[in-house]
Structure 1
Amino acid sequence: MRRSVVEQDEKASAVAALYGAWAGAGWLGRLWWLPILGVAMALRFYGLTTAAVWGDEGSSLLLSEYALDDLWFHAAHDVHPPLYFFMLRGWIELFGDGIWSIRSMSAIPGVAVVGLGIWLTRQLSTRRAAVLAGVLLALMPTAVRYSQEVRMYALLGVWLLGATLALVYWVRQPGRTRYLATYVLLMCAGFYTHYFTALGVLVHWTWLGLLCMSQPAGQRLITRRGWWLANVAIVLLYLPWLPNLLDLVQHVDQLRVGGDIGWEEPVGLLSVPSMIWQFMLQDEGPDIWRPLFWLFPFLWVAVVGMTAWRDRKPDRPSALLALFFLLPLLLVYGVSFISPVFIERYLTVYALALPMSVAVAIDRLPSRLRLLGAALFVLFVGVEVLGLKNNFNVDEHDQFNVPVEFVNRNYQEDDRIVLSDMMWYLSYVYYDQTDAQLQLYTPPKPDGTPTRPNAYGFGTLVDQDGGRIYLDRLADLPTDTRRVWLISSSEAPDDFAPLPEGWRLISQQDGGGARARLYVLCHGLEPSQRTGCD
C-alpha cells in the first residue's frame, strides 16, 4: 500500500515537472518563439524567386557592381545612403547573384525583424503579448513583401527595432552605458541605410519627452548627459556622409526631373486609411465598401490610441509603440501635402509597431472581455491572410523576365535592343544574356526639352555611359542596322510611335506589363537581305 502511494507521488511529480517545462520552467518552454520564427521564415522564403526583378531591385544590383569608391560616389547621387549596397556587394561576392541568393539577403533580416519584435514586445509587456505579436508580425503582409525584394527595407527594420530595444533597456537601467553604445551603433547603421531613420529619432525623443511627465526634475532621462552624448556621437559618425546628403538636397530639382522623386500622387482624405489597408491587405481598398473602408483602419488606430492613453506604467510602453506607428505615418502624410513621399515601403518599418501594439492591447483586456480580444486577433489574422494571398498571387508566366528571355533566345549578332523607360532598363540588365549594348530611348519633348536622365537618382547609374546608351531618335540608329528589338509597355499608347518608314514587325512577346517586339528594317536592303520584309 505504501509503495503504491509512493509510486503515485512519483508519477504526480513527473507530471508536474513536465507541465512546468511546457509552462516555461524548462528549456523547452523557453524556446516558444522558435515555431513563430519558423512560420516567419517559411512565409518569407516561399515564392522568393517567383516575381521578376523590377526596376528598384535592378538599381540595387547595378549599384552593387561598382568598386567601393565608385559605389560611395554613385550612392551619394542616388536617393538612398550606401550601407545596404556595400553589404549587397559583399553578399554577392560570397553567394553569387542568383535571384534566390540576392533576395535571401532581405528574407533573413525579415525573419530577424520578427524575432526583434517578439523580444521588444516581451520587454514592454507579458510573454502572452509577445506570442501574439510574434504571430501577427510573422504574417504581416507588408513585412513579408519587403523581405522578398532586393532593397534595404527589411534591413532597416533590424536597425530600428534593435535600436528601440536598446533604448528600452537603457531607460530601465540608465547606468548601463553599453545600451547607449549599442543604440548609437544601430541608429548610425539606420542612417547609413535609409534617410527615414530620422523619423525613428523623433519617435525616441518624443517618448523620452513623454516620460518626463512622471519623472522628478533631477531624474529626467531626456536631460541625461549620456543621452545627449549618444546623439552627438550619432551626428559625428554621420558626418562623412552629411556633405553628400546636403548636395542631394541642393539638387532635389534634378531628382524630380529624373522621376526619382515627386512621382507619387498627392495625398488626400483617403490616403491614411488606404495606407493602413495596404500594410495589411496589400491593396489600397478602392473597391471596399465605403463604411468598411473607414471603420477598419479607424478600429486599429483607436485600439492603438486607447491602449497608449490608458497606459499608467512609469515607462509608458504602449505609448512607445503608438508613437512608433502613428507619428511617422501622420508626419509623412502632412509633409506629403508639400512634396509627396507617402509611400508604403518607406513606412513599412514603422508599420511593424501596429501588430505589436494590437497584441499588447489584446493581452491587457480584462477577463470579461477575452472574447473581444479573441475576435480582434482573429480579425487581424484574417485580413493578414488575405494580404498574404495578394502577395503570393503572382503568375510566373506573366513576368518581365519572360519577354527578356524571349529576346535572349532569338537574338542575333548585331541586333539592336532599345528600351523605352529607365525602370525597364534597370531590370532588363539583370536578365540580359546578349552581347548587345542596351540603349535607352530618350526622345526630346515637343518643345525640344531633352528627356535624358541627369547625374542624380537612377541617372547616376548610366550617366557616365550616356553617349553610348541614350538614343534620342530611332532614325539615329546606325545605317547598317538590320534588326531592332523594342522593349516598352504592353499598354497603349506606344512609347516608340511613330516608327520610321520601312520597319516591319516579325515577332513579339508580352510579360509583366512589358512587350518585346522584333522589327526588321526593310528600307534599303538588298533582295538577299529582305527576309521578313515581304
Structure 2
Amino acid sequence: MSVPSASLAPATTGRIADPAPVGAHRWPAWLVPGLPASLALALGLWGLHRQGAVWRDEAATWEVAQRSASEIWHLIGNMDVVHTLYYLLVHALFEGFGANLTALRLPSVLGGVVAAAVIAATGRRLAGPLGGVAAGLALALLPVMQRYTQEGRSFALVAAGVAVGTWLLTGVLGPAGPTGTSARRDEHRNRTAGLWRWCAYATVMLATALLNWLSLFALAAHGITVLLTRHEGQRRLLTRWLVTAVIVVAGTLPLIVASSRQTRLVAWIQPPSAASLLGVTAMLIVALACTRVPTTPDRQRTRLSPASVGLPLLAVPHLGLLLASWLVKPLYVDRYVLYASLGLSLLVGPALAWSARTVAARIRTRHHRGRPRAEALLGAVVAVAFLALLPLELSLRTPLSRTDDVRAATREVAALARPGDGIVFLPAQRRDMALVDPPPFGGLADLALAKSPTASGTLYGVEVDPTEIQAAMLSRKRLVVVSDSGSSPQAETPQDLAKLSTLAHHFTLTSSDDAGGRRVATYERNERPR
C-alpha cells in the first residue's frame, strides 16, 4: 500500500513565504477551533449520565479513585500501574467535587473538546480555515469519539494530548519564514523559539505517554511526518525529533517495565478478529482516497500536507498495535489507539472542505444568482451527517450501549436478597457491583472474600482457599449468585471451580434474572447432596 510522495509533502523550492490562508479575512481566529469545540462539548454533555449506568471499566475507575493516594499507590504495585496518573487525576476530582458521574466523565468530555479544537487549529495550518473547521467537526462527529468522550477512562484525554503534540510539531515544521535581511536578523530568535517549542512538545508527549504509554505509537508517526517534510533544515529537525523521542521514551520506560510485569491483566484480549482487520482496512482505504484530493488551497503552499501528518497518525498506531498483537501478545483493542482518529479527521475534513469549495465554484460558474458559499455547503454536510448518525448517537447514550451496567445488576440484587443470605461472585471481578454501590450488599455475607480490595491492593480483593469457599457456602441455606448473562459461568480459577461444584452438588436454582448484562440468581441448599 503506497502513496505517491507528491501527495504526502507538497514540493517546495527554497524558502517560501507564509501567505495568509485563503479566506482568512472571513474567519476570526477563534472561530476555527471554536466551532468544533462547541459541537464536541454539546455532544459530550448530551446524555452524559446514561440514566445512571456504569459499566465495568468505569467501575474500576470509580472505586479506585475513592481510595486514598497511599491506597492507590499500594494498588499500582500489584496491578493497573498503566493507569496511575489517570486514577490520581480522578481521585483529585472526587476529593473536590465528590464521587459522582459528572466528575467521573467530565475529564473525558473536556479531552474530546480539546482534541476537536486543536485538530481544527492543526487542520487550518495544513489546509486553510475551512479545512481546519471540517477536520475538527469530523472528529467531534465520529461515533467512536462520541463514545469515549463520555466514559470514565483515559482514552479521550490521551487523544487530546496527542492532538496538542501534533499541533506543536506542525508549528515547528510549518511554513518557512520570509527570505532576505529580515530573515537573517531573526534567525537566532527563531531558533530559540524553536527550542522552546520542542521542549513543549516533549513535555506534552511525555505526559500523554504517562497517561497511556501506547500513545508512543503517535511519537513514531510524528517521526515519519518529520521524514516526509521537505525542509532545507530537515537534518536538524530530524535530530531534534530523535533527541525528543529519546527523552520521552526514557521518561516512559519505568512505566513500560512496570506494566510489562502485569500482563496477566490483559490476558482477556483475543487475537485481532476479522472484523477488526476489516475496519482498519476500510479506514486506510478512505484515508488513501483522501490523500489524492488537493486539499490545500492553491495560494497556500506549505511544507506539510494533511496526508503527511494525518496518514502516519492513522496508520502507525493501528498497524503497530496489530503487529505487536501478532508477534508479541494480543493487545489490539480499538480504544487503546483512539487517538488515531485524529489522523483520519485530518484527512477526511480537508477533503470535505475541498469538495465544498469545488461544488460551490462550479455552481457559481453556471449560475449568477443564489451562489452558495463553501461554508454553507459544509454546514449542510455536517447537518446531514449528524442526522444520519442520530440512531447510533441515541443508542450510545443508553445503558445498553456498553458491555454491562453494574448499577442495574445491583438493583436486582437488592430486590432478590434476603437477610442472612450469602453472596457469591462468579468470577470474582463481578464484585465490582458491591464496590460501586455498597448499600444493597450491607446485609449479605461475601462468602469467598478473604481480604478486601483496599487492604490487598487489588481491584476485586483476595479470595479464600477453595475448601473454605465450599464450607462457607454450605453454611448458608440460601445464596445469591452474580455472574455474566448470556452463558453459563466458567471456572477461571480454583476458587471459581469450587463455587460451581458446590452449587451443582448441594444447591438448587430457585430464580434467575438478567439485568445490565449480568445474571443474578438465587439458590437454596438441598437437604441431601446430589
Shorter chain as denominator, the TM-score bin is 0.7 to 0.9
Distance 1:327 1:396, change over 3 A: closer
Cα distance, 1:64–1:130 mapped onto 2, change above 3 Å: same
C-alpha separation in 1, matches of 2:164 and 2:408: 40
Deviation at 1:208, TM superposition (A): 1.1
- Alignment of 1:513 with 2:520, yes or no, is no
Q: Which residue of 2 aligns with 1:181?
A: 199
Gaps of at least 5 residues in structure 2 are 1-22, 175-189, 364-373, 491-498
d(CA) in 1 for partners of 2:357 and 2:489? 63
Q: Trace 1:114-153 onto structure 2 (pairs within 5 A).
A: 114-153=116-155
Q: How many Å separate the matches in 2 of 1:111 and 1:412?
A: 46
Give unpaired runs (5+ residues) of structure 1: 1-22, 277-295, 443-451, 525-534
The reply on whether 1:435 has 2:442 as its aligned counterpart is yes
- Distance in 1 between residues matched to 2:29 and 2:260, nearest whole Å: 52
Counterpart of 1:461 in structure 2 is: 458
Q: Which residue of 2 aligns with 1:334?
A: 323
How far 1:70 moved relative to its partner? 3.9
| Aligned residue among 389, 394, 397 for 1:392 | 397
SS for the counterpart of 2:149 is: coil
Quick check: 2:164–2:204 contact (8 Å CA) kept in 1?
yes
Cα shift at 1:134:
2.3
What is the number of residues matched between the two proteins?
Answer: 455
Q: Distance in 2 between matches of 1:218 and 1:493?
A: 60
2:340 aligns with: 350
Query: Partners of 1:104 and 1:261 in 2: how far apart?
Result: 26
Higher relative contact order (CA 8 A, sep 6+): 2
Counterpart-to-counterpart distance in 2, 1:206 and 1:117: 18
- 1:200 Cα offset (Å): 1.2
Specify the alignment match of 1:314 in structure 2. 303
1:475 aligns with 2:470: yes
Q: How does 1:13-412 map onto structure 2 within 5 Å?
A: 30-31=30-31, 33-50=33-50, 52-76=53-77, 77-78=79-80, 80-172=82-174, 174-176=191-193, 177-211=195-229, 214-216=230-232, 220-224=236-240, 227-235=241-249, 237-238=251-252, 242-250=253-261, 252=263, 255=264, 260-267=265-272, 270-275=275-280, 297=283, 299-307=285-293, 313-338=302-327, 339-364=329-354, 368=358, 384-385=389-390, 387-392=392-397, 394-395=399-400, 399-412=405-418
Q: Is the 8 A contact 1:140 1:384 kept in 2?
A: no
State the Cα deviation string for residues 4-24 of structure 1 (Å, max 9, x = none): xxxxxxxxxxxxxxxxxxx87
The percentage of aligned residue pairs carrying the same residue is 20
Q: Secondary structure at the match of 1:337?
A: helix
Closer, same or farther in 2 for the Cα pair 1:185/1:472, shift >3 Å?
farther
Deviation of 1:432 (Å): 2.9
Distance 1:33 1:171, change over 3 A: closer
CA distance in 2, matches of 1:354, 1:386: 22
**How big is the shift at 1:61?**
2.5
- After superposition, the C-alpha distances for 1:298-357 in whole angstroms (9 at most, x for unaligned) are 651332443599998423443111110112112222222232222110111111221221
Q: Is contact 1:133–1:356 with CA below 8 Å preserved after alignment?
A: yes
Aligned to 2:523, the other structure's residue is in SS state: strand
- Aligned mates of 2:312, 2:256 — CA distance in 1: 26
How far 1:184 moved relative to its partner?
1.8
**Offset at 1:72?**
3.3
Structure 2 letter corresponding to 1:197? S
Contact residue 422 and residue 445 of structure 2 kept, 8 A? yes
Report if aligned partners of 1:63, 1:75 keep a CA contact under 8 Å in 2: no
| AA aligned opposite 2:166 | T
Q: 1:395 to 1:85 in 2, by over 3 A?
A: closer
Tell me how far 1:297 sits from its aligned partner. 4.3
Within the alignment, does 1:417 sit opposite 2:419 as a pair? no
Instruction: Note if contact 2:48-2:397 (Cα within 8 Å) is conserved in structure 1.
Output: no
The letter of the residue matching 2:288 is A
- Whichever residue aligns with residue 442 of structure 2, its letter is D
Q: 1:25 to 1:271 in 2, by over 3 A?
A: closer
Secondary structure at 2:424 match in 1:
strand
Q: Aligned partners of 1:330 and 1:377: how far apart in 2?
A: 30
Q: Does the CA contact (< 8 Å) of 2:32 and 2:121 recur in 1?
A: no
Aligned-partner residue type, residue 230 of structure 1: T
Deviation at 1:71, TM superposition (A): 2.1
Following superposition, the deviation at residue 198 of structure 1 comes to 1.2
1:204 deviation in Å?
1.3
Classify 1:385/1:341 alpha carbon distance in 2 versus 1 (closer, same or farther; 3 Å).
farther
Moved more, 42-51 or 129-138: 42-51
Alpha carbons of structure 1 residues 491 and 331: separation in structure 2 relative to 1, 3 Å = same
CA shift, 1:53, in A, is: 1.7
Contact 2:56 / 2:405 at 8 angstroms: preserved in 1? no
Give the Cα separation in 2 of the matches to 1:509 and 1:269.
Answer: 33
Q: Normalising by structure 1, what TM-score?
A: 0.73
Q: What's the CA shift string for 1:265-301, capped at 9, x where partnerless?
A: 323665333347xxxxxxxxxxxxxxxxxxx646513
Question: 1:68 corresponds to which letter in structure 2?
Answer: A
The change in CA–CA distance for 1:366 and 1:42 in structure 2 (over 3 A counts) is closer
Q: Return closer, same or farther for 1:476/1:124 CA change in 2, 3 Å cut-off.
A: farther
Q: Deviations over 1:113-149 (max 9, x none)?
A: 2112212212222111122122212211111111111
User: What's the CA shift string for 1:343-393, capped at 9, x where partnerless?
Assistant: 110111111221221111233459656689979957866765454244235
Match of 2:20 in 1: none
